Structures are given as C-alpha cells and as structure tokens.
Structure 1
C-alpha cells in the first residue's frame, strides 16, 4: 500500500488536470488507484470487526469516481484532486449517515462523519429525532471519544435554512441544529500521517470507532425512511 505514491500522483494530477495528461499517465493512475483501494479495503476489514453494517462492503462499492460529473462543463478541470470513498451500508451513495475518507495532498486528506444526503423526508426524520431526544443528541456530539479525534466536533457551519424548519418555533433551544441541511464532523490529516500506511489505517479506524455512536444515532432516526 504505497500511499506516498498516491499522494505524489495526486499532486502531479493537480498540476496537470486535463484529459491528455491522464491518458499519457494511465498506468500511474491505475497504480495510485490500486493503492487507494488497498487502503479502503484494509480500513473496511478492520471496521467491520465491530460494525456488522459494513461487513461485506467492497472498495469498489465504496470508492467514488475520480472523474468529475460536471455535465455543465463549467469546471475546466475534468478530475477531482482527491480520491475518496463512502463507507456506508449499501455503498457510497446510500441515503444513510456514515464515513467519508479522502486522500488529497498538502494536508487536505480528511475523514468526514455524519449525514450528507439532504432529502426533505430524511432531514425531517433527523430533526424530529433531535427534537425528541435532545439530551442523547448532545451527549453523543459532545462525547470525549468523538472530540478526541474530531476536536471541532459537529459543525454548525454547513448549509442551513434561513428560517426555522416548518413546525419548529423561532425560539427552539436547538434551532441552530434544526436549521442544518447536513450534519457532520471533519478531521484532516497531514501528508506525513497518510504516508504512514498501516499507521494511517489504524488512525482512521480509531476515528471511525469514536464517531460510530453519533453515526448510529443518526441512522436510528433515518431507518424508518431508509
């Protein structure tokens, strides 16, 4: 698992983000993608030992395409500058809370945990759960284990409604949370951390384990709609 090579390839791709360059360097891309697939496979194998919902999920089902899906052609760069995967039961596009691991050079590698699929029905279910079980919500988002790996905690900086959601008063004590359109915490990693290989796998697995109670809280709310 040569993650140093993966970082180097992505750095070169960022400087040459065009189709002719990618065609010329296809073997290097395949080597880099194989390194990322091995990373995701190892993380999944470890996480599945304690999280049965991810047992059987393959790197292919988890990994996102490198090519951008920009049908409007507004972005001159055809490729993303990172490789990413969604570790969710049902695959990367499942409408559930989960874990998103991405590798990108220059300290931009990250692990995002939470719920990012913003359909009205799912958001409504999640808001209702926060409203009904506020104490448990706050207990999970303030859990010391979570904050150890995600020091900034669950963010309120995500996209949100301008007004209170329908059915909730403007003076609701948790209005800042109820207005959110997604719920997530993020941890970034240095290139040195990523290049450790097995050490990075262990760090990602530990961070996922710390976030699992919060992710489970979200998924319990979403289950009737999933």
Structure 2
C-alpha cells in the first residue's frame, strides 16, 4: 500500500486548490482515494474486533467527500485539504459518537468522540456527565487514555453555564463543552510505518470507553 501517494496528492491539491487542477489530476485523486480506502478498511477491521456496533460497517460508508459540501467548510477553496473517515454506527453522518482518521500532510490526526452533537444529544451527554461524574472522570483520567491522548477532551465551551446547571457545579467546565473529542497527531513518518494500522487501532481501542459513555448517553430516551 503506497500511503505516500495520499500525501503527495494532498500536497499538490493544497498548492492548487481549484477545479481545473483537480480535473487535470483526477486519475491521481482516484488512486490516492483508493489507497486511503484500503487503509481505512484495515483500521476498520481492527476496530470491529472490539466495537460490536461497527460490525456491518464498510470502509465506503465511513469516508467523507473531498468536496466542500456542508456549512462547516469555510473559505473559497472548493476542496478539503485532507481525506477523512468517521467510523460510527450507521455511517459517517450518523448521530453516534465514533472514531476518526484524518490525513493531511503535516496535520494528520486520529481521534474519537462526538463533534457538535445535536441539541437533544448534547443535553443527554451533559446529563450523563452530571449523574455519572465519577465514571466520566475515571475514564478520562485512566493512565493509558492519558498516554495516548495527552491533550484530553477538546472542544468549544459555552461562556455561561448551560440551562439547568449551577455555575458552582464542580463539573461545570465539562458541562459547558459543546463537543467531546480526543485526538492525537499522526506525523507523516508514522503514517508510512509498516505498523501504523496496529498502532492506530491500539489508540482507538483505548478511546472505546469514551465512545461507549457518549453513545450510552445519546441513546437514552
């Protein structure tokens, strides 16, 4: 698997992010995307060994389009500068928390959690943190979790306490969060190592308790 082809294509796209260039290099794009799909399939196969909710998922159902086609993609460039996949039950755009792989030269990352849940899911996650704070803090402070994801939970926070929560609540800073993600960087050199998939799956396995905690909350009625 020539993973370097992914990085080479994305470097070219970053320097020439326009439709004429993409049309001229369509063959290289399809080649790079095929390699990325193969990589995602290997990572997914590893994750499926410990994540029952993903058993029927295919690599194609996890991969995001390279076109900027949603409201979260800003700027004039028509294409994203990265290739990404969201390994989530029911596919990349489902409401569930899951696992993520994004490749971009010099800025690749691996992660898990939930980015910007809908209002109902966010309310349930906050409620779960409030009611099960001991379990929440235990999973985020677990030594192996901290080793793989030293930056901890990342995401924007509200300026004020969310409705229904006291500003003096000991968990108020966690309850203010609007996204619940952990991530770690992937260097270009690491991506090209023969054991990259093994190491990636190891990190994602460590993040499973967070994903399960969030999905338990999201699934509650």
* CA displacement at 1:117 relative to structure 2: 3.6
* CA displacement at 1:148 relative to structure 2: 1.6
SS in 1 for 2:101: strand
1:1-226 aligned within 5 A: 1-69=1-69, 75-106=75-106, 108-155=107-154, 158-196=155-193, 198-225=194-221
* Counterparts of 2:173 and 2:74, CA distance in 1: 33
Is the alpha carbon distance of 1:185 and 1:60 closer, same or farther for their aligned partners in structure 2, counting shifts above 3 Å? same
Show CA shifts across 1:2-29 (max 9, x none): 1111111101110111100010011100
Is the alpha carbon distance of 1:125 and 1:73 closer, same or farther for their aligned partners in structure 2, counting shifts above 3 Å? closer
* CA displacement at 1:74 relative to structure 2: 6.5
SS in 2 for 1:92: coil
* CA displacement at 1:73 relative to structure 2: 10
* Counterparts of 2:72 and 2:101, CA distance in 1: 27
Is the alpha carbon distance of 1:135 and 1:61 closer, same or farther for their aligned partners in structure 2, counting shifts above 3 Å? same
* Counterparts of 2:211 and 2:38, CA distance in 1: 24
Structure 2 gaps, min length 5: none
* CA displacement at 1:51 relative to structure 2: 1.2
* CA displacement at 1:224 relative to structure 2: 2.1
RMSD: 1.6
Please tell me whether the aligned partners of residues 113 and 211 of structure 1 are also in contact (alpha carbons under 8 angstroms).
yes
Q: How many equivalent residue pairs? A: 221
* Counterparts of 1:87 and 1:220, CA distance in 2: 17
* CA displacement at 1:125 relative to structure 2: 0.4
TM-score (norm 2): 0.96
TM-score (norm 1): 0.94
Is the alpha carbon distance of 1:129 and 1:201 closer, same or farther for their aligned partners in structure 2, counting shifts above 3 Å? same
SS in 2 for 1:78: coil
Is the alpha carbon distance of 1:71 and 1:101 closer, same or farther for their aligned partners in structure 2, counting shifts above 3 Å? closer
* Counterparts of 1:163 and 1:118, CA distance in 2: 18
